Structure 1
Amino acid sequence: MKIAFIGGGNMGEAILGAMLEKKLCKPADISVSDISESRRDYLKKKYGITVTASSREAVSGKNVIVLAVKPQNINEVLADLKGILKPGQLVLSIAAGVKISTISRGLGHGSIVRSMPNTPAQIGLGISGWTATGEVSEEQKAWARTILGAMGQEIYFDDEEYLDAVTAVSGSGPAYFYLFAESLIDAAVEVGLARKDAEELVSQTMLGAAHL
């Protein structure tokens, strides 16, 4: 499987890093386009992959194109790539809240997977909800499962409408846990515990509870 990443930020790096760590592809099979020269240099040095400032150059000859840019930048990326993708290429978007219809119309392309990973993917403990258009083949769905599963677990939904709920539950979910933990630590400090001790107590309690 040959993969192009449009955007080499934290989530893009989490995916490519997991793929390489689990030997699901080789550095020679990965290209990343990013507007930041320093980011490109970092990724090339750390992973030995191909980097470029050109999205069009990155996608050439690749099986899967991962759209790993922020939602506010998606239209610019779609316009740049419109009309150049081949029918056999799969587009996998991790841009939060960007609907398949927007991506399909913007690219002039039908084989699209929309997914919603979460931040624990950066340590291999994430979960991703995803869906696919009717043009996506079974082989391409297997590619999507491999890519998303490299970061943790994945769940397929047969209707895109569920992706908004996935975003609210697992996509945003880690922030709720952080807020709860912070509130519990503050409460512990108020009743006399040192903050360092409170942080250790709460962190281990949450970890232990998760493993019960």
Structure 2
Amino acid sequence: MKTRGSTGKKKMKIVFIGGGAMGEAMVRCLLTKKVASPQDIVVSDISPVRRELLSREYGVSTLDDNRKAVTSADLIILAVKPQNLPEVMEKIKGLAPEQLVLSIVAGATLSSLCQGLNHSSVIRAMPNMPAQIGEGMTIWTATTETERKQKELAQTVLRALGKEIYVTEEKYLDMATALSGSGPAYVFLFIEALVDAGVHIGLPRNVAQELVIQTILGSAFTVEKTGKHPADLRNMVTSPGGTTTEALLQLEKGRFRSLLLKAVAAAYKKAKRL
């Protein structure tokens, strides 16, 4: 498993099963944040094109044999499509007890992972799309058999993707799927609509887009840094009888809050069925 470099420091071998968009993003973030070096990482992928790209761009080792790839791995990250997971688990079944598996496969529960792998040290994580640039939000949980040091390793890896939240109950991952998982799509739609509104009233599209993006970034940071309730901050922007009041009235008439609630509830219902 762990080997020692010239400095005597223990080195960790991280193996990715799947080198698609999210797998590549994790590799990039681990290297950028200096959590791992290229020689610590192996990526196994069936596509020769992906293997060549990952090797060329990041200097990591690549293989087309999952079983061979996981040999002596400390951390195995499952980053494959859900439909390919059963075959992958069957191939790598028989891992050593001290090897840790971290799955980012959508819909794959801890019980299904443990059963499919015949392995108990398993973590299930759900990063969202902004993790691809190191600004993601990841929620994760682990089996009771997963040791504290293994959880610390997983936390270090997931923090390279942005922020992370550990929960003891797996049910919260389905809920988070509807909020932080699908959430970027809601925000992108909101950005798109605001930019279009700016164009509608006469702003050049590039100006409208810059105004909207910075407004959303600044507003989010204000909530985070002040710790104030969003309603209190909204009231600070809303002058009696002013333009903001008129705009908010139209949003309330259109049931903006209700639509968001229904959208998240529908996404959660769908997530539970996956």
Q: TM-score, structure 2 length as denominator?
A: 0.74
- Which residue of 2 is the match for residue 86 of structure 1? 96
Q: Write the distance in 1 (CA, Å) between the matches of 2:138 and 2:204.
A: 37
- Equivalent positions of 1:1-212 (< 5 A) are 1-82=12-93, 84-212=94-222
Larger displacement relative to structure 2 (67-76 or 42-51): 67-76
Q: What is the DSSP-based 3-state SS (H/G/I as helix, E as strand, rest coil) of the residue aligned with 1:69?
A: coil
Q: What is the DSSP-based 3-state SS (H/G/I as helix, E as strand, rest coil) of the residue aligned with 1:91?
A: strand
Q: Counterpart amino acid of 2:38?
A: P
Q: Write the distance in 2 (CA, Å) between the matches of 1:72 and 1:167.
A: 19
Give CA-to-partner distance per residue, 1:68-90, whole Å, 9 cap, x none. Answer: 112222122112222x3111100
- How many pairs does the alignment contain? 211
Q: Write the distance in 1 (CA, Å) between the matches of 2:195 and 2:82.
A: 34
Q: What is the DSSP-based 3-state SS (H/G/I as helix, E as strand, rest coil) of the residue aligned with 1:131?
A: strand
- Which residue of 1 is the match for residue 267 of structure 2? none
Q: What CA RMSD, in Å, does the superposition of the two structures yield over aligned residues?
A: 1.2
Unaligned regions of 5+ residues in structure 1, if any? Answer: none
Q: Write the distance in 2 (CA, Å) between the matches of 1:21 and 1:194.
A: 36
Q: Counterpart amino acid of 2:55?
A: K
Q: What is the DSSP-based 3-state SS (H/G/I as helix, E as strand, rest coil) of the residue aligned with 1:145?
A: helix
- Residues 93 and 114 of structure 1 are in contact (CA less than 8 Å); yes or no, is this contact kept in structure 2? yes
Give CA-to-partner distance per residue, 1:21-68, whole Å, 9 cap, x none. Answer: 222222121110111111100111111111011111111110010001
Q: What is the DSSP-based 3-state SS (H/G/I as helix, E as strand, rest coil) of the residue aligned with 1:35?
A: coil
Q: Counterpart amino acid of 1:74?
A: L
Instruction: Give the CA deviation at 1:17.
Output: 1.6
- Which has more radius of gyration? 2
Q: Write the distance in 1 (CA, Å) between the matches of 2:132 and 2:203.
A: 32
Could you say which structure has the greater relative contact order, defined with CA pairs below 8 angstroms and 6 or more residues apart? 1
Runs of 4+ in 1 over 6 A off after TM superposition: none
- Residues 87 and 111 of structure 1 are in contact (CA less than 8 Å); yes or no, is this contact kept in structure 2? yes
- Residues 92 and 112 of structure 1 are in contact (CA less than 8 Å); yes or no, is this contact kept in structure 2? yes
Q: Counterpart amino acid of 1:91?
A: V
Instruction: Give the CA deviation at 1:200.
Output: 2.0
